[in-house]
Amino acid sequence: MKLSVVIPSWKDPFLIKTIDSFLASSELGDQLEVIAVLDGYWPSFKLVDSPRVRYVHLGKNRGMRGAINAGVSVARGEFICRADEHCMFAQGFDKIMTDSCESNWIMTSRRFFLDPIKWEVMEDQPYVDYEKLIIQDDKKFSGQRWRSRSKERQNIMIDETMAMQGSCWVMPRQWWIDVIGELQTDGYGPLYQDSHEMQFKTWKAGGKLMLNKNTWFAHKHRSFSRTHNYGTAEATPGWAYSLNLHREYYESVVRPKWGI
């Protein structure tokens, strides 16, 4: 098995379209498996019946982090991919990403915005390449679109980047086992800051966060409602935990490396 795609799912009506998009765009054939993790719910819609799709049902809602951990624990691929349940994928996304991902990389791709109702890329929204890791309002780590770097390095098709949205990434499964271990729920809470946790673990282990502009995925635009979600008051303790845990390393190592 080349690639295991883990999709944490919580009552999102676009799960099936996401699975169908991955299967239709795949160039790995039977070397691909999609693992949809049903996070404590039974879907009211018809599931995809395919030998390349597996379902994991969690007896209770664990949140996005717990659902990702559950999916990765049964993954069989040389590489793992995490994808949100409201994404569309370019033709050959799976092969392009796995063919280029090195042993100590987490890799994301160019990101477009998806209109999930029309199920099409929103042409009026510019795509995202590079993101800068910042501390937003002294409350949390956040990715900020890095337009100047995108312009300066537009012809470099595989390049190191400083931040990513956690909605879609690929890494070797061995890197997850050796370095990530699993997404931590204590302190962070069940949902947010997962991409930042993985970035800091990867950097401290000598790995890189990479951007592959040879392919793309489209993620549901923020103007459409979310399912794995909760309010600011509930999220604040997890944001603070992440910031306190990684701030010194960010200030002393990460920022000087990137010159910001």
Rounded to 5 degrees, φ, ψ at 156 are -95, 110
Q: What is the mean pLDDT of residues 211-234?
A: 82
Q: Assign 233 to helix, strand or coil.
A: helix
In a domain, residue 221? The reply is yes
Report the CATH number at residue 94. 3.90.550.10
The pLDDT tens digits for 53-89 are 999 999 999 999 999 999 999 999 999 999 999 999 9
Q: What is the mean pLDDT of residues 233-251?
A: 95
Residue 180 pLDDT > 90: yes
- 29: DSSP letter: G
Could you give the number of structural domains in the chain? Answer: 1
Question: Of 57-71, 76-90, 195-209, 230-244, which range is least confident?
Answer: 230-244
**Separation in Å, CA 184 to CA 41, 73, 152, 173:** 22, 14, 36, 17
Q: How confident is the model at residue 226 (pLDDT cuts 50, 70, 90)?
A: low
Going by C-beta distance under 8 Å and a sequence separation of 6 or more, which residues neighbour residue 222?
Answer: none
In a domain, residue 147? The reply is no
Find out whether 208 and 105 touch, Cβ atoms under 8 Å.
Answer: yes
The pLDDT tens digits for 132-155 are 999 999 999 999 999 999 999 999
Q: How confident is the model at residue 224 (pLDDT cuts 50, 70, 90)?
A: confident
Which pLDDT score, from 0 to 100, does residue 223 have?
73
Which pLDDT score, from 0 to 100, does residue 211 have?
98
Going by C-beta distance under 8 Å and a sequence separation of 6 or more, which residues neighbour residue 14?
Answer: 85, 86, 116, 220
Q: What is the mean pLDDT of residues 227-238?
A: 76
Q: How confident is the model at residue 233 (pLDDT cuts 50, 70, 90)?
A: confident
In a domain, residue 245? The reply is no
Q: What is the mean pLDDT of residues 218-241?
A: 81
Residue 212 pLDDT > 70: yes
pTM value is 0.96
The pLDDT tens digits for 108-127 are 999 999 999 999 999 999 99
Query: What sign for the dihedral angle of Cα 23, 27, 29, 34?
Result: negative
Q: What is the mean pLDDT of residues 195-214?
A: 98
In a domain, residue 97? The reply is yes
Which pLDDT score, from 0 to 100, does residue 231 have?
64
In a domain, residue 242? The reply is no
Residue 26 pLDDT > 80: yes
Instruction: Supply the range of the domain harboring residue 222.
Output: 3-128+157-229
In a domain, residue 114? The reply is yes
**Number of Cβ within a 10 Å radius of residue 11:** 17
In a domain, residue 251? The reply is no
In a domain, residue 150? The reply is no
Nearest 5°: the CA angle 162, 163, 166 is 155
Percent residues over pLDDT 70 in the chain: 97
DSSP E strand boundaries for the chain: 3-9, 32-38, 53-57, 79-83, 87-89, 105-115, 120-121, 131-136, 140-145, 158-160, 168-172, 208-220
Q: Mutual orientation of helices 63-73 and 194-204 as an angle, nearest 10°?
A: 50
Query: What sign for the dihedral angle of Cα 100, 175, 54, 19?
Result: negative
Cα separation, 136 vs 64, in Å, equals 22
Find out whether 60 and 153 touch, Cβ atoms under 8 Å.
Answer: no
